[in-house]
Amino acid sequence: MSEATLKTQNHEIERNYIIQLLEQLTQDYCNTKQERKEIASLYSTSEEEFTLLEEIELLTVNIRGYASQIQTRGWIENQQQAIEKLQNMRFFDIPAIAQFYFASHQAYRQIKVYLQMLDYLRLLMIEYLQLNQNSQPEFV
C-alpha cells in the first residue's frame, strides 16, 4: 500500500471519528437539558459579558459548525484561520467556564462531560486540519 493511500485512509478514519463524535455530542447535549435549566437559574447573573450558558453555547456553535463542515465537505474554508480560531478557544481561559468547572466538584457531571468531549472534538479538528493542510500541495 502506498504512503499516499495510507494517508488518505487515515485522513478518512479521522474524519469519520469527528463525525461520530459530533453525533454523540448532539445526543449528549440533549441529555444536559435538566442541568442547563438548573445552571440558567443559578448562574443567570454575572459580571462577565456572557453568562455561563451563553459561553457554552458560543463554544458549541463554533466547534459544531466547523465539525459540520468537515462532516459534509471533508474540509473547511480558510483552513489556517479556522485552526487559529480553534486553538484560541481554550475553555479554561473563559472565566465563567473555569470557575464553574472547578467550583462545583461533583455537581453537573453531564454538562462537564459534555464540555470535555466538546474540547476533545476541538483538539481533534485542529489535528485533522493541520494534517490536511500539510498533505496539500502549496500554491505559490
pLDDT band for 103, please (50, 70, 90 cuts): confident
pLDDT over threshold 70, residue 137: no
pLDDT over threshold 80, residue 43: no
pLDDT over threshold 70, residue 25: yes
Specify the pLDDT at position 92.
93
pLDDT over threshold 80, residue 97: yes
pLDDT over threshold 70, residue 135: no
SS (H, E, C) 75-129: CCCCHHHHHHHHHCCCHHHCHHHHHHHHHCCCCCHHHHHHHHHHHHHHHHHHHHH
pTM of the predicted model as reported, rounded to 2 decimal places: 0.89
pLDDT over threshold 70, residue 46: no
Q: What angle do CA 131, 129, 59 make, to 5 degrees?
A: 145
The type of residue at 21 is L
